[in-house]
A and B are shown apart, each in its own frame.
Chain A
Amino acid sequence: MTVFTSLSIAAIKGFVRDRVGLFFTFFFPLMFLIIFGLLFTDNGPKQTKLGVVGDGPVITALRKAEALNVTTVDSVDAAVDQVRKGDLPAVLTERDGAVELRFAASDRVRAGTVQGIVGNVVNQLNLAGQPVRFHLAQQPVEDTSLKPIQFVTPGILSWSLASSGVFGAALTIVSWRRKQVLRRMRLAPVNPLTVLSSRLLVSVGIGVVQAIIFIGLALTPPFGLKLAGQWWLAAPLLVTGLLAFFAIGMLAASFTKTEEATAAVANLIVLPMAFLSGTFFPLDNAPRWLEIVSKCLPLRYLNDGMTAVLSRGQGVEAIVTPMLVLLGFTVVVSAIAAKLFTWEDS
Chain B
Amino acid sequence: MAISVRGLTKRYGDLLAVDDVSFEVAEGEFFGILGPNGAGKTTTLELVEGLREPDAGEIRLLGLKPWPRNSALLPRIGVQLQASSFFDKLTAREQLETFGSLYGVSKGTAADMLELVGLADKANTRENKLSGGQRQRLSIACALVHDPDVAFLDEPTAALDPQARRNLWDVLRAIRERGKTIVYTTHYLDEAEILCDRVAIMDRGRILAMDPPATLVRGLDSATHVLLAQGTLPVDQARAIPGVDDASEDGVSLSLATHDPGPVLAALAERGTLDGLQVRSATLEDVFLNLTGREYRA
Q: Please list the residues of chain A having a beta carbon within 8 angstroms of any beta carbon in chain B.
A: 1-3, 5-7, 9-10, 13-14, 17-18, 175, 179-181, 183-190, 344
B75, A189: Cβ atoms closer than 8 Å: yes
B101, A3: Cβ atoms closer than 8 Å: yes
> Which residue from B79, B86, B90, B101 sits with its C-beta under 8 Å from A187?
B79
Contact string, B36-70, partner A, CB cutoff 8 A, digits 1/0? 00000000000001110000000000000000010
Residue ID in chain A nearest B107 by CB atoms: A1
Closest beta carbon of chain A to B31's beta carbon, Å: 19
Query: In whole angstroms, what is the CA distance A5 to B104 when docked?
Result: 12
Which B residues are CB-close (under 8 A) to A189? 71, 74-75, 102-103
Q: Please list the residues of chain B having a beta carbon within 8 angstroms of any beta carbon in chain A.
A: 49-51, 69, 71, 74-75, 77, 79, 81-82, 84-90, 94, 97-99, 101-104, 107, 142
A188, B97: Cβ atoms closer than 8 Å: no
A184, B69: Cβ atoms closer than 8 Å: no
Query: In whole angstroms, what is the CA distance A181 to B102 when docked?
Result: 12
Residue ID in chain B nearest A171 by CB atoms: B88
> Which residue from A7, A14, A179, A183 sits with its C-beta under 8 Å from B101?
A7
Residue ID in chain A nearest B77 by CB atoms: A187
Closest beta carbon of chain A to B110's beta carbon, Å: 10
| Chain B contact residues: helix, strand, loop or mixed | loop
Query: In whole angstroms, what is the CA distance A175 to B44 when docked?
Result: 25
B89, A179: Cβ atoms closer than 8 Å: no
A184, B103: Cβ atoms closer than 8 Å: no
A1, B103: Cβ atoms closer than 8 Å: no
B97, A6: Cβ atoms closer than 8 Å: yes
Closest beta carbon of chain A to B106's beta carbon, Å: 8
Closest beta carbon of chain B to A207's beta carbon, Å: 19
Residue ID in chain B nearest A182 by CB atoms: B85
Contacts A6-B101, A188-B103, A189-B71 given: A14-B82 contact, CB under 8 Å?
no
A2, B81: Cβ atoms closer than 8 Å: no
Closest beta carbon of chain B to A1's beta carbon, Å: 5
Closest beta carbon of chain A to B160's beta carbon, Å: 19
Closest beta carbon of chain B to A183's beta carbon, Å: 6
Which A residues are CB-close (under 8 A) to B102? 3, 6, 184-185, 188-190
Closest beta carbon of chain B to A9's beta carbon, Å: 8
> Which residue from B51, B86, B98 sits with its C-beta under 8 Å from A183?
B51
B81, A180: Cβ atoms closer than 8 Å: yes
Which A residues are CB-close (under 8 A) to B142? 184
Closest beta carbon of chain A to B38's beta carbon, Å: 14
5 tightest CB-CB pairs across the interface, nearest first? A6-B101, A180-B85, A188-B102, A17-B89, A14-B88
Query: In whole angstroms, what is the CA distance A181 to B127 when docked?
Result: 14
Query: In whole angstroms, what is the CA distance A344 to B107 when docked?
Result: 29
Closest beta carbon of chain A to B151's beta carbon, Å: 12
Query: In whole angstroms, what is the CA distance A221 to B100 when docked?
Result: 50
Which A residues are CB-close (under 8 A) to B97? 1, 6
Residue ID in chain A nearest B100 by CB atoms: A6
> Which residue from B50, B81, B94 sits with its C-beta under 8 Å from A184?
B81
Contacts A1-B107, A189-B74, A190-B102 given: A13-B89 contact, CB under 8 Å?
yes
Between-chain CB contacts (< 8 Å), 26 pairs: A1-B97, A1-B107, A3-B101, A6-B102, A7-B98, A10-B87, A10-B90, A10-B94, A13-B90, A14-B88, A14-B89, A14-B90, A17-B89, A18-B88, A18-B89, A179-B82, A180-B84, A184-B102, A184-B142, A185-B102, A186-B69, A187-B50, A188-B99, A188-B102, A189-B75, A189-B103
Closest beta carbon of chain A to B42's beta carbon, Å: 11
Closest beta carbon of chain B to A132's beta carbon, Å: 73
A179, B98: Cβ atoms closer than 8 Å: no
Which B residues are CB-close (under 8 A) to A187? 49-51, 74, 77, 79
Closest beta carbon of chain A to B105's beta carbon, Å: 10
A183, B88: Cβ atoms closer than 8 Å: no
Which B residues are CB-close (under 8 A) to A18? 88-89
Residue ID in chain A nearest B85 by CB atoms: A180
Query: In whole angstroms, what is the CA distance A185 to B77 when docked?
Result: 13
Residue ID in chain A nearest B146 by CB atoms: A188
Closest beta carbon of chain A to B25's beta carbon, Å: 18
B86, A181: Cβ atoms closer than 8 Å: yes
Which B residues are CB-close (under 8 A) to A9? 98
Closest beta carbon of chain B to A186's beta carbon, Å: 7
Contacts A1-B101, A3-B102, A188-B102 given: A183-B94 contact, CB under 8 Å?
no
